[in-house]
Structure 1
Amino acid sequence: MKVAMGQFAVAREWQKNAHTCIELMQQAQQAGAALLVLPEAVLATDIQDPGLAVREAQPLDGPFLTQLLAASRESTLTTILTLYVPDGSQRAINAQVALRGGEIIARYDKLHLYDAFAMQESQRVTAGLAVPPLLEVGEMKVGMMTCYDIRFPELARRLALDGADVLVLPSAWVRGPLKEMHWDVLVTARALENTCYVIAVGECGPRNIGSSLIVDPLGVAIARAAESPALVFAELDAQRVKSARERLPVLANRRFSRPELDA
């Protein structure tokens, strides 16, 4: 299955970001990709104005997503991204959505909010309450995670036990001491310990690292972007997952129960 990572720097204006997303969708479709993963919070951002992303939040039937859904209507491409949507108060939800054929086919609200490294996502954002769904793309099952979720192995393990062959991770990974190393180690670990592919796509730009990468079920990085905008393709192989799980049956050999979400 051919997949694509669309890495870019999110602008302040949602109209510009919608145009960028649609361009990447069209390029991925023309290249024959079945799945395109975009970064986290692609609607709007400004590092000089931390509250902008929440103030600019739009509902799922707002103009930003309406344009992307229209662009997906005649396509079999599945596009995954996150955006902030209003929660009915002065806050927002970091919602990950999967688009295909003009419809939202799956949604996941980010469980783990980024209250770390002197940042406080929970000041403006409401955490999700449910384990992400799985969706089918081609012959593979895809589990949804978002950015900071990668630091919590329970979620990746739960999705793998639910049947995921691939984990997607739209992200906006902030630069900082050791942060690039953390990114590589965590993405690789989640792939290897669950014998699944991980597609981790980072926003690039002045604050975030970019560095999107795909790691296979045995911990091999098979595709990678640098620090600038890029559209990177890779081939995923369901047989590679099957073979890895036969050779390294960590899911079958585990001694702990399936992780459950706290109420």
Structure 2
Amino acid sequence: MSHDPASTVTLAPQNIYDDTTFFEGYKALRDNDTGLNGVLEIPALHRLLPDLSNLQVLDLGCGFGEFARFARTQGAASVTGVDISKRMLEEAATRTSDASVMYLHCPIEHYQPAPDAFDLVVSSLALHYIEDYAALVERVFQCLKPGGRFLFSVEHPVCTAYPAGWARDNEGRKRHWPVDHYRQEGKRDTRWFVDGVIKYHRTVETYINTLIQAGFRLEHLGEPAPSAEALKVRPTLEDDCRRPPFLFLRALRPVG
């Protein structure tokens, strides 16, 4: 089931996922599981989930709907997935046959959920595309029921601060990951499949303190590394033990 609550919005945020070149590159990456999602990010996300039985779940930046479908297999009562990309949602719809999953075409920044509507809000590697993180956190807090949780992953700030990639020697070997301009939060113009992919850098401090200021209680901070089993299968993942690619945060809306 789908709906378009953003159809009257004329100044939407960047929608790089509907760029043909970007979309095809991203789809191949996910479907072939050649990135870090399947081997690192998704398992780390699943480890942090509460019991999903009978929960009303919101997925911000739902993409192809993988999490929505997984949540239903774990007993979630319903899942609402929100994404800016029509291409992504069209693909999600073809892969989903479940009346209890609804996909909404809307920028995350413009989505206005009802108060106390959800038990769990999840976002996987989407919030570093959001300029006004504080406003989003406030909306998430209000849409959660007391006792509900907000769980999300973002590209780690050591990666978004100075997105130049690995410094290499003359033979192309990776020497180190440079970090610079860490305190200068804001827009970063990057390349991923195509030029001009806009991301927003913020510090770990900002990610956490914004949650606390909104009224959340921080439950977990994670910087997952590849497991020993994953390293045996893909030894190249050893590079991802040298710097953390992802930051995970889980926060609770207190009761009372």
Task: Give TM-score, length-normalised by structure 2.
Answer: 0.37
Q: Greater CA radius of gyration, 1 or 2?
A: 2
TM-score, structure 1 normalization = 0.37
